[in-house]
C-alpha cells in the first residue's frame, strides 16, 4: 500500500511541475482550483479551474 501512495505522490508532483513549466502561474492556479473543487465537491470551484485550464490549453487564436 505505501508503494501505491508513493507512486500517486510522484505522479501528482510530476503533473504539477509539467503544468507550471508549460502554462506558468495561471496553470497552477487552474489546477489548484480544479483539485480543491473536486475534493470539496464544489462544482463552482472545479468548473472555474477546468475553465482556466481549458483556456490555457486552447490558447489565443493566431
Give pLDDT tens digits for 43-58.
999 999 999 989 988 9
Task: Give the pLDDT confidence score for residue 40 in this predicted structure.
Answer: 93
C-alpha cell at 50: 477546468
How many domains does the chain divide into?
Answer: 1
What is the distance between the alpha carbons of residues 49 and 31, in angstroms, rounded to a whole number? 6
Question: Could you tell me the pTM of the whole model?
Answer: 0.72
Which residues span the domain enclosing 12?
2-58
Cβ distance 20 to 35 under 8 Å?
Answer: no
Amino acid at each position: 500500500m505505501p508503494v501505491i501512495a508513493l507512486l500517486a505522490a510522484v505522479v501528482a508532483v510530476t503533473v504539477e511541475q509539467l503544468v507550471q513549466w508549460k502554462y506558468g502561474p495561471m496553470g497552477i492556479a487552474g489546477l489548484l482550483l480544479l483539485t480543491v473543487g473536486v475534493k470539496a465537491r464544489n462544482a463552482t470551484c472545479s468548473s472555474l479551474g477546468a475553465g482556466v485550464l481549458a483556456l490555457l490549453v486552447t490558447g489565443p487564436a493566431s
